[in-house]
Amino acid sequence: MNLILKNPLVALTAISLALVACGDKKEAVIEQPVAESAVPAERLVIKIDGSSTVFPITEAVAEDFQIQEKGAIQVTVGISGTGGGFKKFCRGEVDITGASRPIKDSEMKLCAEAGIKFIELPVAFDALTVVINKENNWATQMTVEQLRTAWQSAAQDKVNNWNQIDPSFPSEPLRLYGPGTDSGTFDYFKEVVVGKKADGTQDDTRADFTASEDDNVLVQGVLSDQGGLGYFGFAYYKENADKLTGVAIVNDQGVPVLPSIESVNSGAYNPLSRPIFIYVAEQSMKKGEVKKFMDYYMANVPKLSNEVGYVAMPDPFYQAATARLASLKTGKVFGV
């Protein structure tokens, strides 16, 4: 599976054509207080899990949706990472899962074995953001090769100082912070940044780093560590931009570019721009409350994705995805 996107708009053009052609680590209950008389004896419940990257968008949609429904429908939104979310989704434990990468073939097999058919919907762009501590004034821009030097498997127990990444960097202890292995952000970073070994097989990241599926834990880690280097979704950086420094990544044109709405839309922020997704079970769409929620999600995600710090896709892509949802077209779209 090739996740590398030099220009996410080009990739989503392919998604749009395909759409037209086809036609347990943290859980939050997102609910709003309502008058006691307005709450029915038994509320309907929609269960969502998955990516911490997609979580801020789904949380925002769920909050607004529950206000609209006056508490008649409860939406629970968990964070167990993209991989963890797919495990629950393919066991039929949740109606919807968020993913910061496309579903893997192995996950598709699990769903198929359980009789779970899914509808894949790209919902926004993310700019995977590399961050450093505010006291770090030497690594405000980095190349992919420098990041690889720090994160590749061969660096484990060996590259522990900033000047080992680049001789121009000072002799300061290096400590790394990143998503856990159940995270789609981890998968994307591993493929795009760490890359392949000499024999052509995918290299793994070093294992001696502070890992968490909760991006807020990573924020706090780099925030309290002058030698810290971490990465996570753009929304978490934007929320903490006054406390952390975002690193400008040298793109394929040799230009250092900071993550932003403008640099994602232009394709300049590469190779760390990517689409993010939600997956809804076809069977769950037969439930009125899930259908109502999904219709609300697709109608409001362009506005809400921008509000929480991601980049809305162009309108034609949302229109195509909404048409796919309405016609219950199942299966994988990204990469077909």
Dist. CA 285–CA 155, nearest whole Å: 46
pLDDT at 136: 98
Look at residue 22 in the predicted model and tell me its pLDDT. 46
Give pLDDT tens digits for 228-247: 999 999 999 999 999 999 99
Residue ranges of the chain with per-residue pLDDT less than 70 = 1-41, 335-336
Q: Strand, coil or helix: what is 280?
A: strand
Query: How far, in Å, CA of 273 to CA of 200, rounded?
Result: 24
**What's the confidence (pLDDT) of residue 220?**
96
Is CATH 3.40.190.10 the classification given to domain 129-258?
Answer: yes
How far is residue 133's CA from residue 121's CA, in Å, rounded to a whole number?
35
Locate CATH 3.40.190.10 in the chain.
8-125+276-326, 129-258
Location of structure tokens 């801020």: 56
Q: How high is the pLDDT of residue 335?
A: 60
- Looking at CATH, the fold of the domain delimited by 8-125+276-326 is given as D-Maltodextrin-Binding Protein; domain 2 (3.40.190)
